[in-house]
Amino acid sequence: MGNTVIYEKKDKVGIIKLNRPEALNAINDPLIADLLSALRLAREDETRVIILKGEGRAFSAGADVKEGSQPRSIEDYFNHAEHMQEVSRLIVNLGKPVIAAVQGYALGGGCELALGCDIRIAAEGAKFGFPETTVGATITNLGTQNLPRLIGMGRAKELAYTGRRVDAKEAEEWGLVNRVVPASELDKVAMEMAEEIASRDPLGIKLTRLSLDTGAEVGFETVLRLETLAASTSFASGQRQTGMKDALKKK
C-alpha cells in the first residue's frame, strides 16, 4: 500500500484515511489501488468497525480532474472503472459496518464512497453533490442505487441532473446523512459510534448487516427466510443465550 491512503487501528476500530489533502483527496489510480489494499486488510483483520475519512479540508472532492483530462484508451478507462467498482464491492462485502466521517467536500466519486458506507456523519458546512453531468460524465460506483434509496427518486434525479450541491443540514433533512456535528467533534463522534457498535456481538452485527442490505433488494418472502436463517445462525452460535442471560443479570 502506498501513501495516498493510511490504515490505522485503535482496538477494534479500523480507520481508513484518504491521504491526498493537497488535492482535496481527489480520486486517482494510485488512491484507488491503495484504498483497495486498505479495505482488503480491514476485511481480514480483527477490527469490527471501520471509519472512512479524508485528511485535510475534504472527505473527497471526487475524480482527479488532472488525471481525468489526460488522454487514455477506452481499455485503460475500463480497467480504471472496474477498479473503482471493486472498491464499492469490497465495502458491501466487508462483513463489518463502515462509518463515513465527512468534512468539507464529498462530491462525485467522493460522495459515492460516502453513500456506500453504512452510516454517514457530517461536519457542519460539509457539501454533498454529483457534478458528473456538468463535465459530461455519469454517476457510478452504486451511486445510482444508493442515492435514490436514501433520499427518494425525485430528489436523486434533481441532484444528478442539476449537479447542485447540498450542505450538511439539508443532507440530514433529506436522509443523505445520519447526523451533523460541529467540525471539531467529527472524529470524536465517529469514534464513539464505532466503539459502541464494536462492543456488540460481531456475528450478530454481521448477520444484521447482511439481512438489511439484502432485504432492500428482494421480496418479502426471501426477507423472511433470510431473517430466520440469520436468527437461527445467531442462536446456534450460543451468543444469543449468553447475551440474554447477561441482560437478565443486569435487571
Look up the CATH number of the domain holding residue 121: 3.90.226.10
One domain, residues 193 and 231: no
Give me the chain's average pLDDT, please.
Answer: 90
List all residues 6 or more positions away from 87 whose beta carbon is below 8 Å from its beta carbon. 32, 35, 36, 39, 113, 116, 141
Residue 250 has pLDDT above 80, yes or no: no
Reduced to 3 states (helix: H, G, I; strand: E, B; else coil), residue 123 is strand
Q: What's the pLDDT at 241?
A: 64
One domain, residues 126 and 81: yes
Q: What's the pLDDT at 242?
A: 72
Domains: count for the chain: 2
One domain, residues 246 and 169: no
List all residues 6 or more positions away from 162 whose beta carbon is below 8 Å from its beta carbon. 133
- Which H/E stretch holds residue 60? none
Instruction: State the chain's maximal CA–CA distance in angstroms.
Output: 66
Task: State the cell numbers at 195.
Answer: 466503539
What angle in degrees, to the nearest 10, is found between the helix axes of 74-92 and 29-44?
30
One domain, residues 53 and 170: yes
One domain, residues 120 and 241: no
Q: Which of 91-105, 124-138, 187-201, 236-250 has the lowest mean pLDDT?
A: 236-250
One domain, residues 102 and 184: yes
Q: What's the pLDDT at 214?
A: 86
One domain, residues 99 and 32: yes
- Pick from 207, 196, 209: nearest CA to 237: 207
- Cβ burial, residue 47 (10 Å; 0-12/13-18/19+): buried
Task: State the cell numbers at 42.
Answer: 480491514
Domain range for 104 is: 5-198
Q: What's the pLDDT at 248?
A: 54
One domain, residues 194 and 220: no
Q: Which residue has the cell 426477507?
A: 223
- Pick from 143, 39, 149: nearest CA to 96: 39
One domain, residues 124 and 23: yes
One domain, residues 193 and 69: yes
Q: Which residue has the cell 433529506?
A: 174
Task: State the cell numbers at 177.
Answer: 446523512
- Pick from 13, 4, 5: nearest CA to 187: 13
List all residues 6 or more positions away from 181 whose beta carbon is below 8 Å from its beta carbon. 121, 122, 123, 124, 189
One domain, residues 17 and 67: yes
State mean pLDDT over 219-228: 74
Reduced to 3 states (helix: H, G, I; strand: E, B; else coil), residue 9 is strand
Active site residues per annotation:
112, 132
Q: Which residue has the cell 446523512?
A: 177
More confidently predicted of 168 and 134: 168
One domain, residues 206 and 175: no
